A and B are shown apart, each in its own frame.
Chain A
Amino acid sequence: MNFLSEHRFSRRSWLAGMAAMAGGLARGNTPSDKQLLLIWLDGGLSQLESWDPKPGTRFGGPFRSIPTSVTGIRYSEMLPLTARHADKIAVVRNMSTQDNSHSAGVARIQRGDPKNRGVDYPYLNVAAGRWLGPKAAGMPASMVIKPGNGGFLVSETGFLGARHASLALGDGKPPPLLDRSADITAAEDDARLSLRDTLDRIGAKARGSSLAVANSETYRLAETLRSRRDLFDPSRLDAKSVERYGDWDLGRHILQARGLLEAGVRIVKVISYGWDSHGDHFNGSMSLMPKLDRPLSALLEDLSARGMLDHVLVVVFSEFGRTPRINGHLGRDHWPEAWSVAMAGAGIIPGQAVGETTADGVEVKGQAFDIGHMFHTWFAALGVSTSAVHYEQNGQPLPLAHEGTHAVRALLRRPPEHAK
């Protein structure tokens, strides 16, 4: 078995990261060209108003289903533009997971819900960044674009520690105060930064501070951001592209994510809030779904036209789906029992819908997949073998994904054994 020691790999990826930050990526880059774009719809996307419509059934709601570019596969009429790209997408309709609360579900789904080993696993974007490392010189391995505050998302890193945290751009914007104030000389700025770094290095050694390591990273990344301001500045987005992707948060953020991937950021996660539609769900869907439909279809069109779908894996997911049953407030509540995820690119076999739910959408019909199945599948698509590679945590080998689940072969162009 090609058992890769966490310690060995950690050190190597750390050095690679440092080299990349210093602009010397050629010395430390990993050979893979794979990239990952996660679109996280926080609150829970309704499978019935997207990938698994049930029109005309007791829980189907008022919307119709429409044909897609793949004969026999129908999406909700809420996704008319994306339906034209169904030939690039694989939908999994038989997801059945464990948590129906946001507080537990958000973390468990993004950690892949591994068996309880007494440690917190990293989120998928952090885990993938950990194994794939930075892709291009000077660019972070993993970035997040989200509404609200930006910063380093340490809470996603689990046992990998703060230094693996993704850099989040709040509202897609570059951080303010990016440029040195006019009343300080470059020499003073360099001297104080150097002393700060030295003191944090001493502190990290003396106190075992992982925060100190992450803090020093923020100062280095500030330099990267300053030099690549164009990529992180939504005001510099091309107006025609903004129109194609949609001039709203999710539209601009997905467009910006495309730019970051093109610039060599290995992993980008776009977070959108507000999908938790417990009340007035159907009017809400008419407002919400186009905000996903337009940028997702534009993204797939662009990635395909630029040849990027060969190596960029795109995943659209949430912490759960929504109840088929419509509640007293015309809303749909949380439903992990039977829901859908969608994916495209990087060797995922497109143009298919894997799995099915019962006629009323309440349960999975036949085999169900948990999030662990998806983690095995996504890691395989990214070229990381979940059977050959393990984390090592305090001497304990830990699998990348739940060992009670496996990759879904029907989704993968190359069988998982070919991953390294």
Chain B
Amino acid sequence: MVSVIMLIGTFMAPAADALELTKAMDAALALDKLAIDKLADDHEFCRRIHLDLVGRVPTTAETRKFLAAPAASRRAELAKGLLASPQFTEVWASTLHLILMERLGDNAEWDGFLKEFASSNRSFRELTAQMLDPGAATAPKGSGFFLSKRLENYGQNPVDYPALTRDVGRLFLGMDLRCAQCHDHLTVPSYKQVHFQGLYAFTRQMVLGEAAKATIGEKPVAGKVSFSSVFDMEKMETGPSLPGRKPLDVPEVKAGEEYAVKPDRKTKSSGVPKVAMMPLLAKAVTEDDRLARTWANRLARVLLGRGIVESPDFDHPGNPPALPETLDAMASALRSGMPLKTWLEGFVNSRLYQAPSGPAAGTGAAAFSRAPERPLTGEALAASVETALGNGKRDEARLKRFRQVFGHPPREPDEAGHPSVEKALFWRNDPAVRAMMAPMSGNLMERLLKLEGPALAEELFLSLLGRPPSTEERDAVLAAVAKAPQPQEGRRIAVWALLASTEFQVNH
């Protein structure tokens, strides 16, 4: 018992660096009663981490270099190298964008803000503060897009403040309080109406400045929020507060004296109120323990294909994390100010990330003993095709086409990434795919034309799937190549079959 307590004490201390986070996560797995009996093999790992950190499959040269490196350190070294690459910044800015904006829209300055964060040593606390208080002197350009996009009108609909309030609860505290807008949540006893209304007391003051510049203004505080449950109509009120926390004391301001700087129609300035809510919200959220836990869960969900708390929007006692100690270890690191790159380095070196691929062997903690198939985004697929075929520079038109077929349009309510006839027909009949198959100097097709037999199959599989073929796969491919009337046609058949295979289009 003593040793367990000592062990808990060890990993509950915030991890200061990547190695400590890895150790803390590995130790936590035992307490979470999850035994990962073996790890992903080197080929699986090499492909997985390339797709996760730089958004594309590895080249054959990268895979061979990795396999030739010293076994004891090659995984950690590969992670370091990928995290230092410029592709990492671009891919993770895009990942954070999808987490935070959920395809609501794009903004170049916001993109720049996220790229700067992904490459920096700044903490998630700082990132969150800048998004929730974009008017602060230290907030970079573009940081206001999280709020400004949500403060836009859609058609004739009024600004959807309840949705903004819900998003702040979901994305930073792991609590979807939408049901609690009108009454205490009916099925989640810990989600109260006062929780929603307390958050709403922060957001209701916000107004859109200029949409293109992603600027936000504030109206003066209008006292406490009054509300009543639709069931008993009993009148209640609250000041601004995070769920479960004491409402903030907001000083009262006399009528007519609300503004430090009055609104000015000529300059389209919404003025500056004496009491501003955005700094208070940013302070409250970034001082709350739930922020780090929610970020950790969402980042883990990207890398594992499922949240430790699933759904990440419903973190409450009735929906406990499948791996509570592991989640604590991940969250503690973020809470201590660990930046994205360091956290990812710790994460990808953990046994949890390196679980072998396969279907879940059970539910709860057991589901995490295998890595599921995660369909690639359109961007990752386009980059992987370019890398695997070796056709040279990035082709923007092709990227656009991949986004169109495999992307997920704004406000589309379906899950992305599922197989579809449209995708099958794209692979089968789209001229863009056909054009990629031509032999060019140094590309895969040209290399394959110089190879025969097992060497051909080896090069083909390593280029596209990052692994050698099984005997059955090799025989099937070589039989198809041999049967074709022309060598080029045979190789085209083989390359196409692997590109259109499920394995090429998933990370696992």
Residues of B within 8 A of A189 (CB): 428
| Contact of A162 with B418 in the complex, beta carbons under 8 Å | yes
B375 adjacent to chain A (CB < 8 Å): yes
Instruction: For B358, give its contact among A101, A207, A273 (CB under 8 Å).
Output: A207
B483 within 8 A of A: yes
- Interface membership of A77, Cβ < 8 A: no
In the assembled complex, how far is the CB of residue B12 from the closest CB belonging to chain A, in whole angstroms? 29
User: Which of A118, A202, A221, A325 has the most chain B CB atoms closer than 10 A to its own CB?
Assistant: A202
CB distance from A277 to the nearest CB of B (A): 9
A279 and B422 form a contact (CB under 8 A):
no
List the one stretch of A31-39, A170-178, A346-354, A378-386 in contact with chain B.
Answer: A170-178
Residues of A within 8 A of B428 (CB): 177, 180, 189, 193, 219, 222
Task: Give Cα A151 to B409, complex, Å.
Answer: 13
Does A208 have its Cβ within 8 Å of any Cβ on chain B? yes
Q: List the B side residues contacting A100 at CB < 8 Å.
A: 178-179, 182, 186
Q: Which residue of A lies closest to B163 (CB)?
A: A278
The minimal Cβ–Cβ distance linking A400 to chain B, given in whole angstroms, is 20
Q: Indicate if the CB atoms of A196 and B500 lie closer than 8 Å.
A: yes
Of the four ranges (under 10, 10 to 19, 20 to 34, 35 or more), the interface on chain A belongs to 35 or more
CB neighbours of A148 from chain B (8 A): 409, 412
Q: Tell whether A225 is near chain B: CB-to-CB under 8 Å.
A: yes
Given A103-B313, A195-B477, A196-B496, also A214-B419 (CB < 8 A): yes
Residues of A near B373 (CB, < 8 A) are 207, 209, 211
The answer on a CB contact under 8 Å between B313 and A202 is: no
Q: Choose the segment among A21-29, A152-160, A236-244, A256-264 that binds chain B (4+ C-beta atoms closer than 8 Å).
A: A152-160
User: Is B473's CB under 8 angstroms from A199's CB?
Assistant: yes
B501 within 8 A of A: yes
* Chain B positions within 8 Å of A180 at CB level: 428-429
Q: Is the CB of A221 within 8 A of B186?
A: no
B 331-347 binary contact with A (CB < 8 Å = 1; else 0): 00000000000000000
B414-442 CB mask vs A (1 if < 8 Å, else 0) is: 11001111111110111100100000000
- Chain B neighbourhood of A217, CB < 8 A: 419
A-B contacts, CB under 8 A, total: 184
**Contact in complex: A101, B176 (CB < 8 Å):** yes
Inter-chain contact A199/B498, CB cutoff 8 Å = yes
**Is A175 a contact of B425 with CB atoms below 8 Å?**
yes
Residue among B364, B424, B484 with the highest chain A CB neighbour number at 10 A: B424
Instruction: State which of A98, A168, A188 has its C-beta within 8 Å of the C-beta of B493.
Output: A188
With A and B bound together, what is the CA distance between A394 and B502 in angstroms? 25
Bound-complex Cα distance A258 to B444 (A): 49
Query: How many angstroms between the C-alpha atoms of A179 and B473 in the bound complex?
Result: 29
Q: How far is the CA of A176 from the CA of B424 in the complex (A)?
A: 11
Inter-chain contact A153/B422, CB cutoff 8 Å: no
Task: Give the residue of A106, A181, A203 whose beta carbon is less than 8 angstroms from that of B429.
Answer: A181
Which of A195, A278, A329 is within 8 Å of B476, CB to CB? A195
Q: How far is the CA of A106 from the CA of B426 in the complex (A)?
A: 30
Q: Give chain A residues whose Cβ lies under 8 Å from the Cβ of B500.
A: 192, 196
- B476→A198 contact, CB < 8 A: yes
Residues of B within 8 A of A193 (CB): 428
Most buried by B among A104, A199, A206, A219: A199
| Contact across chains for A202 and B502 when beta carbons are under 8 A apart | no
- Does B355 lie at the interface of the complex (its beta carbon under 8 Å from any beta carbon of A)? no
Neighbouring B residues of A210 by C-beta, 8 Å: 359
With A154-B419, A176-B425, A215-B502 as contacts: A184 and B186 at CB distance below 8 Å: no
Chain B 357-399 residues near chain A, CB threshold 8 A: 357-359, 362-364, 373, 375
Distance to closest chain A CB from B479 (angstroms): 9
Which residue from chain A places its CB closest to the CB of B359 in the assembled complex?
A: A208
CA distance A150 to B418 in the complex (A): 10
- Chain A residue at smallest Cβ distance from B479: A195
Across the interface, which residues of A come within 8 angstroms of B136, CB to CB?
none
Q: Is A358 at the interface (CB under 8 A from chain B)? A: no
Of A119, A192, A215, A280, which is within 8 A of B496 by CB? A192
Q: How far is the CB of A329 from chain B (nearest CB, A)?
A: 5
Report the separation of the CA atoms of residues A207 and B358 in the bound assembly, to the nearest whole angstrom: 5
* A212 close to B (CB within 8 Å): yes
* B363 cross-chain contacts in A, Cβ below 8 A: 118-119
Is A99 an interface residue, CB under 8 A from the partner?
Answer: yes
Could you mark each residue 300-338 of chain B with 1 if its beta carbon is under 8 Å from any beta carbon of chain A, else 0? 000000000000010000000000000000000000000
Q: How far is the CB of B329 from chain A (nearest CB, A)?
A: 25
User: Which of chain B's residues 201-260 have a Cβ closer than 8 Å to chain A?
Assistant: 230
> Is B497 part of the binding interface, using a Cβ–Cβ cutoff of 8 Å?
yes
| Cα A163 to Cα B249 with chains together (Å) | 56
Specify the chain A residue showing the minimal Cβ separation from B483: A191
A218 touches B502 (CB 8 A): no
Residues A211 and B422 in contact, CB atoms below 8 Å apart: no
Any A CB within 8 A of the CB of B192: no
In the complex the two chains form, is A215's CB within 8 Å of B230's CB?
no
The 30 sampled A-B contact pairs (Cβ below 8 Å) are A100-B182, A152-B420, A154-B415, A154-B418, A165-B418, A175-B420, A175-B422, A176-B425, A177-B422, A177-B430, A180-B429, A184-B434, A194-B480, A195-B480, A199-B498, A199-B501, A200-B502, A202-B472, A203-B502, A207-B508, A211-B375, A211-B502, A212-B501, A212-B503, A214-B419, A217-B419, A218-B420, A221-B421, A222-B425, A225-B421
Other than A99-B186, A183-B434, A196-B497, give 7 A-B pairs with Cβ distance below 8 A: A118-B364, A119-B363, A175-B420, A177-B422, A215-B505, A222-B428, A273-B413
Residues of chain A having any CB pair with chain B under 8 Å? 42, 98-101, 103-104, 106, 118-119, 148-155, 162, 165, 167-168, 170, 175-181, 183-184, 188-189, 191-196, 198-200, 202-204, 206-212, 214-215, 217-219, 221-222, 225, 273, 278-280, 323, 325, 329, 333, 394
